[in-house]
Chains A and B, each alone.
Chain A
Amino acid sequence: MSARILIVDDNPTNLKLASDVLRSEGFAVETAQDAEQAQRLLLQQLPDLILMDIALPGMDGLALTRRLKSESRFSHVPIVALTASAMRGDEERALAAGCAGYITKPIDTRAFGRLIGRFLAAGGS
């Protein structure tokens, strides 16, 4: 059974890109455009990995990450931050919030699937 990925990103185009790339690599993808939607989806089904855009409207990606990491039912799900890498310190803050790692935008579509696979393998061990 293919791994399930939840992508949280407020930009619909980027959301589509990430999900289409991952789907083409054989992942099962669910998408959410904000923290609220993401939490609703999480209550229905736990993904194997969450791809979290940091700059979200309302509750931002880091706040959501911290909340999920503080709840036992979600804390084991690896979260990988998607950062624009423009603001120095984004990466550090992502790791501090509990992310397993980060991927900088623009995403490299040719390496994206492999990268996610690596995070899944690390998170599953």
Chain B
Amino acid sequence: MDVPEDVGTVEAELARRLLWDTPDAVVAVTAEGTVVLWNAAAEALFGYTRAEALGRRLAELTAVPEHRGEARAPGTAASEPAEPIFETVRRRKDGSLVHVNVSQRAIRGAGGGPLVLSTIKDVTPLKVLRDAKLLEAQFRNLLESTPDAIIMVNVTGRIVLVNSQAETVFGYPRTQLVGKPVEMLLPERFRAAHNAHRGSFFSQPRTRTMGAGLDLYGLRSNGEEFPVEISLSPLVTEEGTMVMSAVRDVSERLKAEQKFRALLESAPDAMVIVGRDGRIAVINSQTEKLFGYQRAELLGRPVEVLVPERFRGNHAAHRGGFFAQPRARAMGAGLELFGLRRDGTEFPVEISLSPLETEEGLFVSSAIRDATARKRYEQGLQEANRLKSVFLANMSHELRTPLNAVIGFSEFLIDEKAGPLNAKQKEYLGDVLNSGRHLLQLINDVLDLSKIEAGKMEVRAERFPIRRAVDEVCTAIAQTAAAKGIAIRRDIGEAPGEVTLDRQKFIQVLYNLISNAVKFSNDGGEVWVTAMQRDGALRVSVRDRGIGIRSEDLEKLFVEFQQLDSSAARRFEGTGLGLALTRKLVEVQGGGIAVESERGQGSTFTVSLPLQAAARGAAPEPST
């Protein structure tokens, strides 16, 4: 074989080439740890050029920032390496970590000083495979059983293990995940920060939620970002500390929350959602407007801040009551409720409450409506109604005065007190008198109705025999009935002997019903009056075989000024008030009235009255 001319030169060249081209990083440091040798592989592994590395302390370049049990400080014990070959973690120039296999040997440098020569292999992928193998065996079944996506990461930030939920959520098969930096699952903009955070987690590993209060996002294989919640736990293994992150895709929940917020915002009412602790959890912007607060001023405050001082004590107690028996209902039924604005003013409100079950427990959702306008409107209506009643009372008083003369003088004349009359004069005066009386009845009915509506109708209950009252009314109508050849038949055998009612009103009711029956009966017909005791009540029916009432008109029957059929109205003169008044005269005594009718077959009106009218006095009259 050929022997080179200068073996020494060739060897030196070869050694230099070998040192430079070897795939392993070769680094030599002095006893003080100063780098004196840094080959190309070291440049590639750690990211520092030879020029950058030479003369620097190795620890500054490659030591992981925090002390880690498994990470032996580089470049120490140069004279006596404890172990010639070991595995550890080193830092690259970009801050990322690598698992390395280090083989060290103490040598004597050219200058005579001791050096440590290290050959460093990047074993990160190998390490991941080892870790994965170990973790797979220990945790696979456990991980598959949890609903969240689980991603285990080792100290170098490489994914060592994922469960199938993680594959589904992120859209990668596990082969494409294991061994990769976990940052691949994060949107670009979060990656740098994540690296740093990961480092600090490993320096102080404890179970906690990631990025509390921050919006976190994951990145799917298709580039789609999605909101996540992540909890982290350290997992100490013989291969070092891992971090286990449980990732929950909260897109659906956020969507649901957004929908819920949109719903809250679209509600016309102010919505205030309060937790069991009485603190405001959620409000909508209508609440801000109604109460004059900014959202931030209300969230977390006790809801009583919206309640006037004098109601606060009770409110807190009622709130407890609601949580004890949660069901949707109006707050403080029948009570006047008030809200308190930020500026201290009060306003009337209507509030409805409903329980709201959430993952975080039971809340109460209250819809609050400003009742100011309604109150004002109601007061206006009441006042208008009062004025109407006063007006009607005054009007009917004014109308009676001339009627007194019309009726009085025509009576006086008909009775020939002012001299004899011929037949025609008598007939015409009779017409004047009848019209006058009709007008008076109309005025009386209007007045009675207005009294009832104004709550000024008194019930003066007295004990009286039914039979006598029925007889009295029938006698009063007998003449009119006889003129039409109508027979009034009575059946009061089953009636109670006596009742305690407002006798005058009872008679008025009976009179109205029987005279109606006579009025709407055909000539020669019959009217039946039945009184009986049923279910502890007095029931009086008046039945005719007259023209009857169309079913669509039955509802209008008891309403003021609703005479049903205009042609009938012409034939049967009436005020259109009789039945409305009759109903009210019955109701004011605690009774009710009903009608059954068929067109052309006749009608039956049935009045039910208590045997004893509830004592119901009118408001005292203001003295004049």
Contact = CB atoms under 8 A, between A and B. Distances in A.
Interface of A: 11, 13-14, 17-18, 20-21, 24, 55, 84-89, 92-93, 105-110
Contact of B401 (A20, A84, A110): A84
Contacts of A87: 393, 397
Interface stretch (B32-40, B207-215, B405-413): B405-413
Contacts of A21: 408, 412, 417
A105 B412 contact: no
A110 B393 CA distance: 27
Given A13-B402, A106-B440, A86 B412 contact: no
A18 B408 CA distance: 8
Given A13-B405, A14-B401, A106-B404, A88 B621 contact: yes
7 contacts: A21-B417, A86-B397, A87-B393, A93-B624, A105-B401, A106-B400, A109-B412
Given A24-B417, A86-B393, A88-B618, A107 B400 contact: no
Interface residues of B, number: 26
A91 to B, nearest CB: 11
B505 interface: no
B220 interface: no
A24 B411 CA distance: 13
B404 A14 contact: yes
A55 B456 CA distance: 21
A55 B415 CA distance: 29
B352 interface: no
Nearest to B404: A106
**A-B interface, 8 closest residue pairs, ranked by CB to CB distance from nearest:** A86-B397, A106-B404, A89-B621, A17-B408, A13-B405, A109-B411, A105-B404, A106-B407
Given A88-B618, A109-B411, A109-B415, A17 B404 contact: yes
Interface in B90-131: none
Contacts of B451: 88
B403 interface: yes
Given A13-B405, A24-B417, A93-B624, A84 B411 contact: no
B233 interface: no
B411 A110 contact: yes
Contacts of A109: 408, 411-412, 415, 417
B285 interface: no
A106 B443 CA distance: 12
A21 B397 CA distance: 22
Interface in B345-404: 393-394, 396-397, 400-404
B80 to A, nearest CB: 121
B447 interface: yes
Contacts of A20: 412, 417-418
Nearest to B622: A89
B618 A11 contact: no
Interface string B185-228: 00000000000000000000000000000000000000000000
B458 A14 contact: no
Contacts of A85: 400
Nearest to A18: B408
Nearest to B409: A17
Given A20-B418, A105-B400, 13 more contacts: A13-B402, A13-B405, A17-B408, A20-B412, A21-B408, A21-B412, A84-B401, A86-B394, A86-B400, A87-B397, A88-B621, A106-B407, A106-B408
Given A21-B412, A88-B456, A93-B624, A107 B404 contact: yes
A88 B405 CA distance: 22
Nearest to A106: B404
Contacts of A86: 393-394, 396-397, 400, 447
Interface string B451-465: 100001010000000
Contact of A11 (B401, B415, B418): B401
A84 B402 contact: no
Contacts of A13: 402, 405
Contacts of B458: 88
A24 B89 CA distance: 136
Contacts of A18: 408
Contacts of B397: 55, 84, 86-87
Contacts of A24: 412, 417
Contacts of B440: 106
Nearest to A109: B411
Contact of A17 (B394, B412, B618, B621): B412
A104 B407 CA distance: 13
A31 to B, nearest CB: 15
A14 B412 contact: no
Contacts of B411: 108-110
A88 B396 CA distance: 12
Contacts of A17: 404-405, 408-409, 412
Contacts of B412: 17, 20-21, 24, 109
A84 B408 contact: no
B395 to A, nearest CB: 9
A72 B291 CA distance: 70
Contacts of A92: 621
Contacts of B409: 17
B454 to A, nearest CB: 10
A18 B404 CA distance: 10
